[in-house]
Structure 1
Amino acid sequence: MSTKTSSPSFSRRDFLRTSSLAGGGLLIGFNLFTACKSDVKPPIDLANLNYKDFNAFIKIAKNGAVTIFSPNPEIGQGVKTAMPMIIAEELNVAWDKVFVRQGVLDTNNYTRQVAGGSQSIRFGWDALRQTGATAKQMLMNAAAARWQVDASELSVSDGVVTNAAGESLGYGELVDDAAKLEVPEGVTLKEPKDYTIIGTDQINVDMDKIITGKPLFGLDYKVDGMVYAAVLRPPAFGQELESFDATDAKAMPGVIDVIKIGAKARTLLEKEEVNWTAQLSPSEKVVVIAKTTWEAFQAKKAIKAQWKEASTLESTEYQDQKLNELLDGKDFTTLREDGDVNKAFAQADIVLEQTYESPFLPHNCMEPMNFLADVTKDKIQLVGPVQTPEDAANTVSELLGRDIGDIHLEMTRQGGGFGRRLYGDFVYEAAEISDTIGKPVQLVSSREDDMTTGVYRPAIKYRIKAAIKDGQLTGYQLKEAAVNGNMYGLIPNFFPAGAIENYRVDVANYDSNITTGAWRAPYTNFLAYAEQSFFDEIAEAMEVDKVQLRLDLLEKVKGTTDERIQYDPERLQGVLKMAVDKSGWGKAPEGTYQGVVAYYCHNTHVAEVADVQIENGMPVVKKVTCVVDCGIVINPLGANNQIVGGVIDGIGHAMYGQFGFKDGVPTSNNYDTYRLIRMKEAPVVDAYMIQNELSPTGLGEPTLPPAGGAVANALKAATGKRIYKQPFMADPDFWKVPNEQILG
């Protein structure tokens, strides 16, 4: 349940500081998790700064310049801007005088520098504020000592401390004195009403570099003597390399060598202790080493490889059959069971049951997978875009049999992550290649490599069943069947858990050769559509208002003592009521059809209303009204971008994302055969954020899952027919138009 912002207690041992910076100054930071090692000291060399968890470090130079180091991977979610804003707010410095730098990884002492789950701001909120407030108090104490007054008599504004006599000292004049003082405890944090930075629109700190093409991304990184690598992987999932002939490839321009890798990965897999983010392949691979990426790509096509067939090379039809068998079978794991669901169905006046289907989906990051590795006898330099840098460093250490202390990993800005870069397969390939050839190498994947040899959202089917007795919803059962399992498993404590007396959630999966994993908004990206579409169907069967059904069910959860429930019924009601009001729900002009959803995931409450029209027999999503309750909004400009992007991404994949397999080979390998939403198809998104003083939660993912449900419900209003399978546009018979028109 929700809690208001608080002033957490941090001990002196949690605070880190040093004044031993070149040129003088103060470097300070906070250990954000008290379970971390207490004897860790921050490094002195700013060129090789290391961090702990979501540690925030501040460098204040003698000239007053403030540099805030952002330790988390930046994948477009805006943490490189928002996290420093939180520190700057409590530090009381002018935002336009703050410099932000990306941090690096220290695998010796620090953990959990991760981008995933929309959790960075949520986990960092208290300690980031504490970092800024404690630093400010140290500087005020230094000024008080110099003036021989009590610190309570001083005021601070924009990095300047002022006393009652009107005298002032800038932070830069105080840093050396502050570094000699005791770290204060129990500092006072600002009240939200006093914020001057938090809650204001701030442009992404990397924006100028992004729009002018300055080096920021993994593909931009270059070192002297670097070569390029392209990897030939098995064309079908489950195959393994038997032999290859690289004679023609080696004769091509720019080709330096053709090698084989994979033996080290196979050995590591045999230990059965590999981290879940590794996604190591059991097959050996052929690698082209060349002077340029283009030359490596071209030579890779000339390699003649023989592949050993797997016992099962899956096709979409096979997967469909296996998932149906799971739904019809009895081999399920029950994640939650309240009451007696079977009894509720047996006594029901009406029993509804529907099955919802979704395909595999690739991630399609704008920047294809890439990484630079420079392995020498003294050190291992790793540079590039990865969401789990510590896991990557640890696995490279195990893969190459090297001490973790030899590894230095730098994070670049990432051209999209969406869960794909949680998995470090491309990092390990780059490391093994560099270790083999003894040169710095940048591994680069083509779009075809990314789409056909990647990690996918698993194909999933949900079977949902509801019991209605005497006009009341008395039973609810949700079954999930997923290829390889749905990543973290279905979340059984989201809505409608707690609102229905007899409630059960079951999951089952079968193991596949196809690599699957997290895809933006894991476990909810498809579930939200299925459940919210089904809730509309329940309302129709009960002959009640769709919005009122949701509000009434949420009312039953208020005051619950069930600590398993993760959502807040009042907050979910709040976003739903505002979405109904702001969208003009029920008052749409003729020819405009609306669909509504209310959903909670990744700690954030969201409601959306989609406005759909039918033009030339085809659905057009005109507008989506989206209301979000994510607590205090750090950067409204960045938050709005996340909301809009999530909605459009959710609509695009729900309507058009079609991906399958034929004998283990993906049916699409580039955008000419894989349909994405077009710019002209993107709707207007009216975004609203509930204003409150609750601790902030995430925004990178929560607006994506509800979007598909809102559109599906609007399409039912428009056509009179329900859609039970994604993508919505996959069936030309449904729309009575040629398939070519659907594909665009």
Structure 2
Amino acid sequence: MSSTIQTKFSRRSFLRTSSLASGGMLIGFNFFTACKDTVKMPVDISKLDYNDFNAFIKISKEGMVTLFSPNPEIGQGVKTSMPMIIAEELDVAWENVNVVQGILDTQNYVRQVAGGSQSIRFGWDALRQTGAFARQMLVNAAAAKWGVDASECTAKQGVITNAKGETLGYGDVVDEAAALEAERAAKRKALIESLAEGEQPPAETIELKDPKDYTLIGTDVGNVDIDKIITGKPLFGLDYKAEGMVYASVLRPPAFGQVLESYDDTEAKAMPGVIDVIKIGEKAKAMLEKEQIDWTAKLAPSEKVVVIAENSWAAIKAKKTIKALWSDGSPLESTKAHDKILMDLLDGKDFTNLRKDGDVKKAFKQADKVVERTYESPFLPHNCMEPMNFYANVTDSKIHLVGPVQTPASAASTVANLLGRDEKDIRLEMTRMGGGFGRRLYGDFVYEAAEISDKIRRPVKMFSTREDDMTTGVYRPAIKYRIAASIKDGEITGYHLKEAAVGGNMYGLIPNFFPAGALDNYQVDVAKYDSNITTGAWRAPYTNFLSYAEQSFLDELAEDMGKDPVQMRLDMLEKVKGTTDDRIQYSAERLQDVLKLAVEKSGYRTPKDGVFQGVCAYYCHNTHVAEVADVVMKNNRPVIQKITVAVDCGIVINPLGAKNQIEGGAIDGVGHSMYGDFGFENGMPTANNYDKYRLIRMNETPIVETHFVKNTLSPTGLGEPTLPPAGAAVAIAMKKATGNRMYKQPFATNMASKPILG
């Protein structure tokens, strides 16, 4: 059965339609949409003009459909999955679809952001409406051409058929459809403009497909950029080039807390290929001190030296010759000091309460036993495959920005404030990104590029090296969790979770995820230390470590009480069913379902000889996930052999792309839990490249087996939710294999001094 959706439009939000000069129909929507990249087309689509619009569908007389994608693509696959949604409702053959990356357009789109695994979730309804509206326009045009009622016509795979069996292709009626829709849109616009402020026009309705009738959604579709990626076509920010472009390499403070005093650039300026050496940061520093600019991630206050050169290699070499003098503007912090600071915070009383159910103190006093554990995690860098970079060309009339950023609107707004320009002067184009993981949420590299270009008044590519990225970036906060639980008559009666973080955000620790709601006495408190070391979002913010701490703790409680850890979780979730607490964000039923599915598919109840299994069920980023880790012992060392993943993300748009995200997230979670270690000594990072920073290696990568809970619920994201449970599942399995519980990440480092199997 199809569904009918009412669509409401504000004064600025109405359907725009026009006829293309070359013949065709332009369909634009003033609400959030995002689509996909391109497959080979049977016509020369390069001759079409993509530069004047972005929020639309374009249909040519040949029946080709072009979808413009406004959202950033960071490898999460939205350039494939989001247009699939439009194409499904439009009912057009996938081989006739082409997608072009749109530019930043705050007039026509909201949330042009890649972050939080929210693109599919936020775009689902709007994207379906986009395709369905277009399909209905075309059907109406064909019906008018035949002189029949539109209800007598159907559309399928780009072909409209009437009751007599006569057919017309979409390309055959695009002009008529454009004319009809232009008339309707004009009337709609006039109606909206005639309304009083705050008054809403009558809702329009549109028929959407029933999920059982989907022919494209739910099928495997390859990444639309894959051919270009593997053949090295220019897709990424580092690939972008423009006529007259120069290169800029930035010398930043070597330690967090230092400021530039002076520098000698004599040798650098004399080197071949070097154009100039300049200083930036004065304007940003002044604006920051006056609180006139929100400079994300604290990367702006210090002044910096910039080498401008004809090529990147010349810029890198010259930067190494600059003799800079840095003074200590604030304390130069070290990991050892942070450890003590965080422990003092946990022992102190200066906390902010995020949730308090019942009376934890009373439950603890009345308990037969209180179990308390502390879990520790280090800072972590993002280490995107493509280091930070951006192109900028600032002139008197415009500011042209091109590159990889997860938050283009925020970046453009900050550049406008920084340079004292109107945002309308800015044209920001997005490229594909070689990884984001939260690092490219922070647009410091965009601001630097814009400030450099503004100063030299030339088109410039600001680029970072791997060492720049690792030592002057944004880091996952170092965090310690202390969890205590009271046990009375063999049941958990109280639960108290405390967080102490270096530079964390007070809202970061999630107080309303499981086990919230499952316990009568439950309390969550947080404290933070404001550091001059830059911290920010890192893939699956906070939950990336919180899941391991809480789920490991629950497993230990089950062992202490002599309970089956799976059944204990199922029983706790049973208590949440039917809750009227609207703070609870997860579904107890859905979390139970993924847990049962993971247990079934992994053979958890009947493990093979020599296989030790750990199970974790977790909810984050609107998706329910359970994972079972298989660990075996080889040469007295634990080896992670397999991860079985069960996922409930609602309707799966593109199973192939979904599995890629699930597998990547699980492996990333395993790798960083096992090996990720990073710290600071006197304000300086302890590693600047992969010779000192350990990542998971190919021969250490476990098999990841994915299973979906099948339903027709609205889809949710997959870029992050499978990472957090992985560390917990591995830690629990390793306890069974080695007899040792892990309380500190990374596991490989911290188990080195522990006896393994005696």
Category of TM-score, reference length = shorter chain: over 0.9
1:637 aligns with 2:637: no
Query: Could you say if the C-alpha distance between residues 273 and 482 of structure 1 is closer, same or farther in structure 2, counting changes exceeding 3 Å?
Result: farther
Task: Give the Å deviation of 1:430.
Answer: 0.4
Q: Deviations over 1:291-350 (max 9, x none)?
A: 111111111100000001133100101111111111011010000100001000010111
Aligned to 2:712: 693
> Within 2, Cα distance between the matches of 1:733 and 1:706?
23
> Within 2, Cα distance between the matches of 1:670 and 1:6?
54
Task: Give the Å deviation of 1:73.
Answer: 0.2
> Within 2, Cα distance between the matches of 1:67 and 1:404?
28
Please point out which of 398, 402, 411 is paired with 1:379. Answer: 398
1:562 aligns with 2:581: yes
Describe the SS at the equivalent of 2:393: strand
Aligned to 1:717: 736
Query: Could you say if the C-alpha distance between residues 49 and 417 of structure 1 is closer, same or farther in structure 2, counting changes exceeding 3 Å?
Result: farther
Does the aligned pair in 1 maintain the 2:297–2:535 contact within 8 Å? no
Aligned to 2:257: 238
Query: In structure 1, what residue type is equivalent to 2:382?
Result: H
Describe the SS at the equivalent of 1:590: coil
Q: Any residues of structure 2 matched to 1:199-238 within 5 Å, and which?
A: 199-238=218-257
Aligned to 2:8: 11
TM-score normalised by the chain length of structure 2: 0.93
Describe the SS at the equivalent of 1:577: helix
Query: Could you say if the C-alpha distance between residues 532 and 732 of structure 1 is closer, same or farther in structure 2, counting changes exceeding 3 Å?
Result: closer
Task: Give the Å deviation of 1:270.
Answer: 1.6
Please point out which of 445, 454, 459 is paired with 1:426. Answer: 445
Describe the SS at the equivalent of 2:75: coil
> Within 1, Cα distance between the matches of 2:63 and 2:507?
46
Query: Could you say if the C-alpha distance between residues 586 and 109 of structure 1 is closer, same or farther in structure 2, counting changes exceeding 3 Å?
Result: closer
Aligned to 2:550: 531
Aligned to 1:726: 745
> Within 1, Cα distance between the matches of 2:230 and 2:506?
35
Does the aligned pair in 2 maintain the 1:334–1:506 contact within 8 Å? yes
Does the aligned pair in 2 maintain the 1:419–1:519 contact within 8 Å? yes
Aligned to 2:191: none
1:88 aligns with 2:96: no
Q: Any residues of structure 2 matched to 1:99-118 within 5 Å, and which?
A: 99-107=98-106, 110-118=109-117
Please point out which of 564, 586, 599 is paired with 1:545. Answer: 564
Task: Give the Å deviation of 1:264.
Answer: 1.3
Aligned to 1:172: 171
Q: Deviations over 1:141-198 (max 9, x none)?
A: 1111111111111111111111122211111121111122226931111011100010
Q: Any residues of structure 2 matched to 1:264-663 within 5 Å, and which?
A: 264-275=283-294, 277=296, 279-486=298-505, 488-663=507-682
Does the aligned pair in 1 maintain the 2:659–2:706 contact within 8 Å? yes
Does the aligned pair in 1 maintain the 2:374–2:480 contact within 8 Å? yes
Does the aligned pair in 2 maintain the 1:355–1:463 contact within 8 Å? yes
Does the aligned pair in 1 maintain the 2:5–2:206 contact within 8 Å? no
> Within 1, Cα distance between the matches of 2:447 and 2:53?
22
Does the aligned pair in 2 maintain the 1:361–1:658 contact within 8 Å? yes
Query: Could you say if the C-alpha distance between residues 258 and 576 of structure 1 is closer, same or farther in structure 2, counting changes exceeding 3 Å?
Result: same
Describe the SS at the equivalent of 2:547: helix
Aligned to 1:742: none
Task: Give the Å deviation of 1:489.
Answer: 1.7
Q: Deviations over 1:264-293 (max 9, x none)?
A: 110221232434646442110000011111
Query: In structure 2, what residue type is equivalent to 1:10?
Result: T
Aligned to 2:143: 144
Q: Any residues of structure 2 matched to 1:25-64 within 5 Å, and which?
A: 25-32=24-31, 46-49=49-52, 57-64=56-63
Describe the SS at the equivalent of 1:268: helix
1:665 aligns with 2:668: no
Identity among equivalent positions (%) equals: 72
Task: Give the Å deviation of 1:15.
Answer: 3.9
> Within 1, Cα distance between the matches of 2:9 and 2:110?
20
Q: Which segment is superposed worse, 66-75 or 723-732?
A: 723-732
Task: Give the Å deviation of 1:21.
Answer: 2.3
Q: Which segment is superposed worse, 266-275 or 720-729?
A: 266-275
Does the aligned pair in 1 maintain the 2:508–2:541 contact within 8 Å? no
> Within 2, Cα distance between the matches of 1:108 and 1:31?
8
Query: In structure 2, what residue type is equivalent to 1:69?
Result: F
> Within 2, Cα distance between the matches of 1:298 and 1:291?
12
Query: Could you say if the C-alpha distance between residues 507 and 732 of structure 1 is closer, same or farther in structure 2, counting changes exceeding 3 Å?
Result: closer
Task: Give the Å deviation of 1:735.
Answer: 4.6
Task: Give the Å deviation of 1:8.
Answer: 3.4
TM-score normalised by the chain length of structure 1: 0.95
Query: Any unmatched runs of 5+ in structure 2?
Result: 34-47, 186-202
1:97 aligns with 2:96: yes
> Within 1, Cα distance between the matches of 2:65 and 2:53?
18
Describe the SS at the equivalent of 2:380: coil
> Within 1, Cα distance between the matches of 2:520 and 2:72?
42
Query: In structure 2, what residue type is equivalent to 1:173?
Result: D
Please point out which of 260, 264, 269 is paired with 1:250. Answer: 269
Does the aligned pair in 2 maintain the 1:5–1:694 contact within 8 Å? no
Aligned to 2:43: none
Q: Deviations over 1:63-108 (max 9, x none)?
A: 2110011110000000011110000000000011100111110245
Q: Deviations over 1:2-45 (max 9, x none)?
A: xx9964320366442222423021111333369xxxxxxxxxx9
Q: Deviations over 1:476-526 (max 9, x none)?
A: 010010011247421111001100000000011010000100000011000
Query: In structure 2, what residue type is equivalent to 1:503?
Result: Y
Query: Any unmatched runs of 5+ in structure 1?
Result: 35-44, 738-744
Query: Could you say if the C-alpha distance between residues 398 and 280 of structure 1 is closer, same or farther in structure 2, counting changes exceeding 3 Å?
Result: farther
> Within 2, Cα distance between the matches of 1:372 and 1:6?
45
> Within 2, Cα distance between the matches of 1:235 and 1:22?
56
